[in-house]
Chains A and B, each alone.
Chain A
């Protein structure tokens, strides 16, 4: 089906709702899904993959019951099926070690600190979405509304 997905993981429902509200403006072109745990997100990602849809961006909290954000993102990287997926750690509480591990082992693309601002969040997500579209060689025209123009321009110029 080739739909683009952004999957958000956080154990606090208020945070998830706030994230979903902030990303609502992307709704027309991408699917924003929220999950209360890493295991819920894993099931959802399986479905997305089974439907032939695309996992563009994963945003995860660090401190959660069960699997932590870094472990979840590391598992996702090791899975091998989603090499182009961009990974964001969104957290108010991460140790130096967690962060180093996230970058080295989970191949983190972005680190966002809580509390975030909507403007900043949307800009960052758009940049990552653009990178995903470019990396995957998708037709960027159909997503142009949710892409970051500068990133897109630079990406296209580098290609030629």
Chain B
């Protein structure tokens, strides 16, 4: 077969007068153009497009050694079905006679060869259709995934909104309660026991459980029952002083410990409600409701907001921040910046946890680097193999398969897109024990139209 092809090519597709050189993007055949030539691709790549249907991707492709124009050459109306363009610099040779009118043996040879060309054309189109179907399937899957992300995003925004109202009501009621109790105890100041309410309220419990166990025996001398002893130990107040104050009056001692605990509980509740409000605020910051660009974005602050969001999953990791305090404000979208830090820090935490090493550290530094603000996010995890450094920014690249962390493989793609929107860039370097993602954000960014 290849001998026959060699013969046909040299006999019918080697005439220098029947050669066309094409530059990249140059059109060989327009759509619906009448064509009586059969083209052999000497070098390069040719692609067929459907401009009338506004489809940007090629619907057929042929490389050097293949034929193009097969359909129009043989069809009844000789119309080109697609627009054929050179994908790169190419050269084609053409035959424009009637193969069925060639004399004797030549005619047999040529038609025999044409049969293989037509079959090859069929195979090629079939192959291309298969390829397109696979691509379509892939993009459909990706679309479904991003739709899932959008739904999750909307859900969390709704959640943040609802929680914001609830947390708001909770914290203002708590303030009210604390004020009422404070007023009440102030008006009863003459009673010897009330200062212990304020003691508890001011600082809460400062002793660790270990300290409490170690010091417990000091408080056992107060002569209170077991529960009251444990409660009064939590005050951290000097046992000698307490001994003098309580003076073996068990009822007074119990009352004292209760009042201290009441104050301390209010203190804890206030701390928790502030924490909850902060998290909810940060989620709202990140959400669609706040996608405004502003000239006064403080990069350090966006990092702090991101860390607040991540507090729940960052427990097992020691996160250290070293901020350059004198950073200039930049023109940016703070919600999107938060999203960058959340993604990068979350990745670091998840890789550390997956590796299960004993000391898990993430260090975040900011500094001024010429015309940019440089943010480095460094972890001491297993590292990213060099082969995949580039790949990690592509969609559908994910290492997360199990557990609470579910990866859609879109995180770093989104991060890269956002950074590019801000005119910045992201780099990664990695070796076992030290992975650094460096984000550079330009100080002078032109407002986007």
CB distance from A80 to the nearest CB of B (A): 24
Q: Given A27-B227, A65-B315, A97-B402, are A17 and B213 also a contact pair (CB < 8 Å)?
A: no
Q: How far is the CA of A16 from the CA of B205 in the complex (A)?
A: 12
CB distance from A22 to the nearest CB of B (A): 12
Q: Which of B209, B316, B404 contacts A35 (CB 8 A)?
A: B209
A95 and B213 form a contact (CB under 8 A): no
A17 and B315 form a contact (CB under 8 A): no
Q: A27 to chain B: which residues have CB within 8 Å?
A: 226-227
CB distance from A72 to the nearest CB of B (A): 13
Q: Given A27-B226, A27-B227, A93-B404, are A40 and B210 also a contact pair (CB < 8 Å)?
A: yes
Whether a CB of chain B sits under 8 angstroms from the CB of A83 is no
Q: A65 to chain B: which residues have CB within 8 Å?
A: 315-316
Whether a CB of chain B sits under 8 angstroms from the CB of A105 is no
Interface residues of A in 27-62 (CB under 8 A from B): 27-28, 33-36, 40, 44
Q: Given A64-B316, A97-B403, are A28 and B209 also a contact pair (CB < 8 Å)?
A: no
Q: How far is the CA of A60 from the CA of B153 in the complex (A)?
A: 33
Q: Given A24-B227, A27-B227, A95-B403, are A36 and B208 also a contact pair (CB < 8 Å)?
A: yes
Whether a CB of chain B sits under 8 angstroms from the CB of A11 is yes
Whether a CB of chain A sits under 8 angstroms from the CB of B268 is yes
One digit per residue, 1 when the CB lies within 8 angstroms of any chain A CB and 0 when it does not, for chain B 207-234 equals 0111001000000000000110010001
Interface residues of B in 94-119 (CB under 8 A from A): none
Q: How far is the CA of A17 from the CA of B272 in the complex (A)?
A: 14
Can you name 24 A-B pairs with beta carbons within 8 Å? Answer: A13-B209, A14-B268, A14-B272, A16-B209, A20-B230, A28-B226, A33-B209, A33-B213, A34-B209, A35-B209, A35-B210, A36-B208, A36-B210, A40-B209, A63-B315, A63-B316, A64-B315, A64-B316, A65-B315, A93-B404, A95-B402, A95-B403, A95-B404, A97-B403
Apart from A33-B213, A97-B402: 12 A-B pairs, beta carbons within 8 A: A13-B209, A14-B268, A14-B272, A16-B209, A17-B234, A17-B268, A20-B230, A27-B227, A35-B210, A64-B315, A65-B315, A95-B403
